Structure 1
């Protein structure tokens, strides 16, 4: 818990240096010379886009530091045989790369998606999930066949039960993958 507080403070300090604040005077009588809302939005987006490489580097450095801290703590926990430290460092070593990859993908999707290709993106994601479901069910059937073969070779009833469970699960997955997009109206 204490380490999370340090990460939050580190993020606040980094953002306070990266995003400087400026104060502007806005006289009441001089309303006609204000920039329009569109001009202000364009100015903001240009300044944010100009800061994108710096922010990307800072995020990369932050996740690298977190990962290296996890590696060091994992070494410490192995040497001292401390279970709680090993559990925390294992969590850091698993979630830091996943989070980093997820943030990178989301940034790419956010900056490359416009109103015209959002529906294409959604249909592509649906098709990806459907094909993943079909391939997973094929893999389940093949693994079920291997278990069934083991059941006949060594006559162990667990392998027979597992093969039947995998076949039923594969059939259920295939039916759900086929029918749910139609039922939900996304096909």
Structure 2
């Protein structure tokens, strides 16, 4: 379950939104978010982007869960995948009806997010120019998501980062950004 939940979080965080608002009010709620490894080589801006991405992922999951018949679902998935996608979204969101509880599944807090590394279990780096992220220990109770530098080249949903006059400025993502047709759930 942790693997499916983690892959879905990663998919939603890296994909996109077609909405401007979430059916679940997340702004005032704490979020069960993955742990960002402080020993990772993340800048303050990277950490802000990661935290924003986790909140965006929950907002997207909330929107997707309640909007399966308005064309957004069909843009990214097929009808045959609907039950699987709904199950994953339910698992990501936890119990959104309980406004006193943190948003998102408690399992999300068991995920560690870090930069690429080599050790005895993973003797090679996974990050290259084409890789945004990778999952390690995906079937364990404490999976790790390796976030690659290329993942930070896109802004959040309506969120830009850095100074517009700076070389490191990252533009916000809008609906116009997304052109993918269909994603198959395996």
Length-normalised TM-score, structure 1:
0.25
Q: Larger helix proportion, structure 1 or 2?
A: 1
Task: Identify which of structures 1 and 2 has the higher relative contact order when contacts are C-alpha pairs closer than 8 Å and 6+ apart.
Answer: 2
Q: Larger strand proportion, structure 1 or 2?
A: 2
Structure number with greater Rg is 1
